[in-house]
């Protein structure tokens, strides 16, 4: 069920109206149900009635917390690989890497950044929505190597 039990002020005020011998067992039963999901079996009829009225609220909150936890975990898995365009932006902002590419392939920064945009468009056109940055860099370097490769000398003869 829920990791941290929540006990509303209105619940406390309502339980305070019950006879003293019913209050503590009911409070314990509510907290036990919130943490473990085990329904109480030994409550008095009045305390069981109050518990039954609170049970749907506890269940609804537990389901909402569970759904939120599931969404958070799913989002964390998705964030491992950024969107292709975002991967391109990250590579563009990596100045050291751009300088390294400029030296390695003898290109100016503007041309490298234009190739980054082309790689992003190419990957997106091929249906690759999310890609790790290291894989994006591999695609980019392959593309730059193909562009800067010496032309076949047979063409010019």
Using alpha carbons, list the distances in angstroms from residue 55 to 34, 49, 150, 156.
9, 10, 75, 84
Categorize the per-residue pLDDT at 157 as very low, low, confident or very high, splitting at 50, 70 and 90.
Answer: very low
Looking at residue 81, the DSSP 8-state letter turns out to be S
Instruction: State pLDDT tens for residues 76-113.
Output: 665 556 778 888 888 999 999 999 999 999 999 999 99
Q: For residue 58, what pLDDT is reported? A: 92
**Torsion over CA: 79, 84, 88, 89 (sign):** negative
The yes-or-no verdict on residue 155 having pLDDT over 50 is no
Categorize the per-residue pLDDT at 151 as very low, low, confident or very high, splitting at 50, 70 and 90.
Answer: low
Instruction: State pLDDT tens for residues 3-62.
Output: 677 888 999 999 999 999 999 999 999 999 998 889 998 999 999 999 999 999 999 998
Q: For residue 2, what pLDDT is reported? A: 54
Residue 105 neighbours by CB distance under 10 Å: 16
Helix 84-93 to helix 133-148 angle, to the nearest 10 degrees?
70
Q: For residue 17, what pLDDT is reported? A: 93
* pTM exceeding the 0.75 threshold for the entire prediction: no
Alpha carbon distance 92, 116 (integer Å): 7
Q: For residue 83, what pLDDT is reported? A: 78
Q: For residue 9, what pLDDT is reported? A: 92
Q: For residue 79, what pLDDT is reported? A: 57
Q: For residue 156, what pLDDT is reported? A: 43
- What tokens were used for 157? 């003869």
């Amino acid at each position: 069920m829920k990791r941290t039990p929540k006990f509303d002020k209105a619940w406390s005020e309502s339980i305070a109206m019950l006879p003293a011998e019913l209050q503590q067992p009911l409070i314990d039963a509510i907290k036990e149900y919130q943490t473990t999901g085990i329904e109480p079996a030994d409550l008095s009829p009045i305390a069981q009635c109050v518990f039954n009225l609170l049970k749907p609220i506890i269940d609804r909150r537990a389901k909402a917390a569970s759904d939120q936890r599931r969404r958070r975990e799913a989002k964390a898995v998705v964030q491992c690989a950024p969107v292709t365009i975002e991967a391109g932006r990250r590579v563009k902002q990596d100045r050291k890497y751009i300088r390294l590419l400029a030296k390695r392939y003898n290109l100016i920064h503007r041309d490298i950044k234009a190739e980054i945009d082309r790689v992003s468009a190419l990957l997106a056109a091929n249906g690759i929505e999310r890609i790790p940055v290291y894989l994006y860099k591999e695609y980019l370097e392959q593309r730059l190597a193909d562009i800067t490769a010496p032309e076949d000398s047979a063409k010019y003869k």
